[in-house]
Amino acid sequence: MAKLFWIAVALIGAFAVGGIALHRGETINAMWIVVAAVCVYAIGYRFYSAWVAAKVLCVDANRATPAIRLNNGRDFVPTHRWIVFGHHFAAIAGPGPLIGPTLAAQFGYLPGTLWILVGAVLGGCVQDMTILFLSTRRNGRSLGQMARDELGPIGGYAAIIGTLVIMVILIAVLGLVVVNAMKHSPWATSTVFATIPIAVLVGLYLRNIRPGRVLEGSVIGVALLLAAVVGGGLLNEHETLRAYFDLDGKALAAFVIGYGFIAAVLPVWLLLAPRDYLSTFLKLGTVLLLAFAVILMRPDLKMPAVTQFIDGTGPIFGGSLFPFVFITVACGAISGFHALVSSGTTPKLIGNETDVRLIGYGSMMLESCVAIMAMIAATLLDPGVYFAINSAPGVVGATAEAAVTTISSWGFPVTVEQMHALAAEMGESTLFARTGGAPSLAVGMASIFSSAFGQSMLALWYHFAIMFEAVFILTTLDAGTRVGRFMVQDVLGHFSKRLGETSSYPSILLSSGLVVAGWGYFLYIGVVDPNGGINILWPLFGIANQLLAGIALCVATGILIKQGQMRYAWVTGVPLLWLAIITTTATWEKIVSSDPRIGFLASADSLAGKLASGALSPEQAAVAPQLIFNQRLDAVLAIVLTLILWIVIADTLRVARRVKLGLPVLPTSEAPATPAEARA
């Protein structure tokens, strides 16, 4: 009976995947994608994850986990697997899987969707589960420590440098997404600003009034956030007040940078922790609501399966389908960042080794599901509208008329009137050139929500979606800056003992300042870049993120080989090889491509040529030297990142060769086996 059930799931899944791949009509119903996704995840979880856990990792239900052996009632606590699942999912789910698929939709709905499904089931979920398991076997050691212990110092340093670089690029690109969503939008800006005092109020409540009552504090906070969305709408009607919040990109970037610095040096209970509680509640609530609304409404997707932009001429980011769809989707399929969480708090909570399947593999499956919903929300828009929102003025033309003419000439008809009507419905003055993915996702979400729960509230839903995205983007920004700060303090500690103390104020100010200056620089350049900045920063972020995943998979593959599992090394080795191919190809194209839309150096040279010949307007000429320098810096950065990956791969191969030849390697850092007496 069970066999028949799984055969049916496989057949339905194959039919749905075939349906979305071969469909070539005007529109396709989103349910095709939903059904395909559910079947692919179900089969991946039931069969592949079970096989990997049993045969490759040799998960042992009778071996005591660190939570049991080292139970201290605080960080090491055996916890019910669904609770750990919730915490782990809340930790790994960030804005990445919402933004990546939205941008990748420029290739059509099909390429991104297929990679989200295949990449997650065979790559991302396997990575998360494997690293979680290996860290659990090593008392919850971090990825960097495991790299050092098992491969050697090279792997360890590479992991640390990779983490720091990805953090800087990630925060810059997320900052840019928020800035673009708030630019000249008093409603969005005032709502996002209001989230800060609301978080502080909740922080004070949780510390002074009712210590540790997180549910109460969060319910109050979420109610205030919803009130802020409504309040922003009222403010938007008021001529004088709205002018205060009608800010341009540079001013908002300065605000985000200042905010990031302050948030990193304030005590966590005041801003970071309460903001995170609110963002987690909103995140879980909105994801459930979106899934519910998609299934209730079953919207038609208007984007073609595949667009002409697979040739690399896309307006949102330059570069052909291979390798850029993989680089762009990033977190929705494989995210190196997850390896840091999987080797952090989570392994210390696991009560039984068999739980790694649900927690590691299952959480990533859900994350991938979020990416699928973002893809649906992006592709249900009229393609013309989607491109009008997401294309930078440098690409489609600075005026609304120029933009609609360019976009319509691609075969995606859109009119100025249509865009104005849409903007008016959403309570915005314009939606043109709101690059970064967040606004188009918000328009998509608003149209699903309003058709499911009331048409009249489009503007409210739109700003709710913007607020929702901004809240957890800012949480990632705070938390990331703090992690970066600790890493910088760790490095500074090698030079001066005082600067290495995490609680010393001069050290906090200096290290936070360095981290904020790092991402603030890229954010500022992204804001002044007439091509939108996203087209530079997102691929760079994608490369950095996939690089970190590559390092994690190297550690996993190296350990599997050392444990005598050479014949199963392909389980992590094949995803590793694939990541190495896509990141290297992407870096290669970003360096050598002669198309200024793709190549960093070509772009720098083209701009330098225009500057020298006087072809630029005075304001363009003023920022040109910065943009030229930045593109060259990006080229260097991309090369460094890819070199780091190859160095770690070489180091892993060295270890593999020594194992094969029977030469000595570093001893395993696994904690000795003790039988589990008590089950959590």
Partner 1 sequence: MSALVRSFWDFVRELATDNAYERYLTHHREAHANVAPLTRRAFYLKEQQRKWSGVQRCC
* Nearest residue (CB) to partner 1, 286 versus 563: 286
Which of 40, 188, 272, 499 lies at the binding interface for partner 1 (CB under 8 A)? 272
Q: Tell me: does residue 493 bind partner 1 (CB under 8 A).
A: no
To partner 1, the closest distance from the beta carbon of 442 in angstroms equals 19
* Nearest residue (CB) to partner 1, 285 versus 413: 285
Q: Tell me: does residue 480 bind partner 1 (CB under 8 A).
A: yes
For residue 79, what are the β-bridge partners?
A: 350
Which of 67, 92, 310, 407 lies at the binding interface for partner 1 (CB under 8 A)? 92
DSSP 638-666: HHHHHHHHHHHHHHHHHHHHHHHHT---P
Residue among 111, 114, 145, 105 at smallest CA distance from 37: 114
To partner 1, the closest distance from the beta carbon of 202 in angstroms equals 13
Number of residues in contact with partner 1 under rule CB under 8 A = 55
Q: Quick one: DSSP state of residue 633?
A: H
Q: Quick one: DSSP state of residue 361?
A: I
Q: Which residues of 356-385 are buried (b: 16+ CB within 10 A; e: fewer)?
A: bbbbbbbbbbbbbbbbbbbbbbbbbbebbb
Q: Tell me: does residue 384 bind partner 1 (CB under 8 A).
A: no
Q: Tell me: does residue 456 bind partner 1 (CB under 8 A).
A: no
Q: Quick one: DSSP state of residue 65?
A: P
Which of 95, 155, 383, 575 lies at the binding interface for partner 1 (CB under 8 A)? 95
Length of the chain: 680
Torsion of CA 381, 385, 391, 397, to 10 degrees: 170
Between CA 591 and CA 584 the distance in angstroms is 10
* Nearest residue (CB) to partner 1, 232 versus 533: 533
Per-residue binding string, partner 1, 318-357, x by CB under 8 A, is ------------xx---x-xx-xx--xx------------
To partner 1, the closest distance from the beta carbon of 502 in angstroms equals 8
To partner 1, the closest distance from the beta carbon of 541 in angstroms equals 8
Residue among 501, 370, 498, 557 at smallest CA distance from 445: 370
To partner 1, the closest distance from the beta carbon of 173 in angstroms equals 9
Between CA 96 and CA 281 the distance in angstroms is 18
To partner 1, the closest distance from the beta carbon of 210 in angstroms equals 9
To partner 1, the closest distance from the beta carbon of 337 in angstroms equals 4
Q: Tell me: does residue 545 bind partner 1 (CB under 8 A).
A: yes
Residues 524 and 505 sit within 8 Å (Cβ to Cβ): no
Which of 352, 440, 475, 511 lies at the binding interface for partner 1 (CB under 8 A)? 475
Q: Tell me: does residue 218 bind partner 1 (CB under 8 A).
A: yes
To partner 1, the closest distance from the beta carbon of 256 in angstroms equals 16
Q: Tell me: does residue 469 bind partner 1 (CB under 8 A).
A: no
Q: Bin 533: left if φ > 0, else alpha if -120 < ψ < 50, else beta.
A: left
Q: Which segment (46-54, 94-102, 511-519, 578-586) binds partner 1 by CB under 8 A?
A: 94-102
Q: Tell me: does residue 214 bind partner 1 (CB under 8 A).
A: yes
Q: Tell me: does residue 634 bind partner 1 (CB under 8 A).
A: no
To partner 1, the closest distance from the beta carbon of 499 in angstroms equals 17
Residues 389 and 440 sit within 8 Å (Cβ to Cβ): yes
Between CA 672 and CA 589 the distance in angstroms is 47
To partner 1, the closest distance from the beta carbon of 279 in angstroms equals 9
Q: Tell me: does residue 158 bind partner 1 (CB under 8 A).
A: no
Amino acid sitting at position 541: F
To partner 1, the closest distance from the beta carbon of 438 in angstroms equals 14
To partner 1, the closest distance from the beta carbon of 322 in angstroms equals 23
For residue 675, what are the β-bridge partners?
A: 63
What lies within 8 Å, CB to CB, of 90 at 6+ separation is 280, 283, 284
Between CA 575 and CA 277 the distance in angstroms is 34
Which of 8, 61, 153, 213 lies at the binding interface for partner 1 (CB under 8 A)? 213
Q: Which segment (61-69, 116-124, 272-280, 531-539) binds partner 1 by CB under 8 A?
A: 272-280
Q: Tell me: does residue 670 bind partner 1 (CB under 8 A).
A: no
Which of 23, 207, 420, 632 lies at the binding interface for partner 1 (CB under 8 A)? 207
Q: Tell me: does residue 156 bind partner 1 (CB under 8 A).
A: no
* Nearest residue (CB) to partner 1, 268 versus 653: 268
* Nearest residue (CB) to partner 1, 142 versus 191: 142
* Segments of 236-302 assigned E as strands: 300-301
Q: Tell me: does residue 268 bind partner 1 (CB under 8 A).
A: yes
* Nearest residue (CB) to partner 1, 369 versus 423: 369
Residue among 120, 472, 482 at smallest CA distance from 275: 472
* Nearest residue (CB) to partner 1, 96 versus 186: 96
Between CA 135 and CA 151 the distance in angstroms is 15
Please compute Rg for the chain using Cα positions.
24
Amino acid sitting at position 115: W
Q: Which residues of 204-218 are buried (b: 16+ CB within 10 A; e: fewer)?
A: ebbbeeeeeeeeebb
Q: Which segment (87-95, 192-200, 236-244, 442-450) binds partner 1 by CB under 8 A?
A: 87-95
Structural element, H or E, at residue 362: none
Count of CB atoms situated within 10 Å of the CB of 247: 20
Per-residue binding string, partner 1, 31-70, x by CB under 8 A, is ----------------------------------------
* Nearest residue (CB) to partner 1, 474 versus 561: 474
Residue among 665, 660, 648, 664 at smallest CA distance from 555: 648
Q: Tell me: does residue 75 bind partner 1 (CB under 8 A).
A: yes
* Nearest residue (CB) to partner 1, 108 versus 332: 332
Helices assigned H by DSSP within 529-569: 534-562
Angle between helices 143-150 and 153-182 (to 10 degrees): 160
Which of 77, 198, 433, 466 lies at the binding interface for partner 1 (CB under 8 A)? 77
Cis peptide before 323 (omega within 30 of 0): yes
Per-residue binding string, partner 1, 557-596, x by CB under 8 A, is ----------------------------------------
Residues 61 and 354 sit within 8 Å (Cβ to Cβ): yes
What lies within 8 Å, CB to CB, of 501 at 6+ separation is 489, 493, 507
Q: Tell me: does residue 211 bind partner 1 (CB under 8 A).
A: yes
Per-residue binding string, partner 1, 114-143, x by CB under 8 A, is ----------------------------x-
| The residue to which tokens 């080797």 are assigned | 343
Q: Which segment (90-98, 577-585, 601-609, 653-661) binds partner 1 by CB under 8 A?
A: 90-98
Which of 83, 581, 636, 650 lies at the binding interface for partner 1 (CB under 8 A)? 83
Count of CB atoms situated within 10 Å of the CB of 563: 18
Between CA 598 and CA 576 the distance in angstroms is 25
Q: Most distant CA pair in the chain: distance in Å?
A: 78
Contacting positions for partner 1 (CB under 8 A): 71-75, 77, 79-80, 82-83, 86-87, 91-96, 142, 170, 174, 206-208, 211-215, 218, 268-269, 272-273, 276-277, 330-331, 335, 337-338, 340-341, 344-345, 475-476, 479-480, 482-483, 486, 502, 541, 545
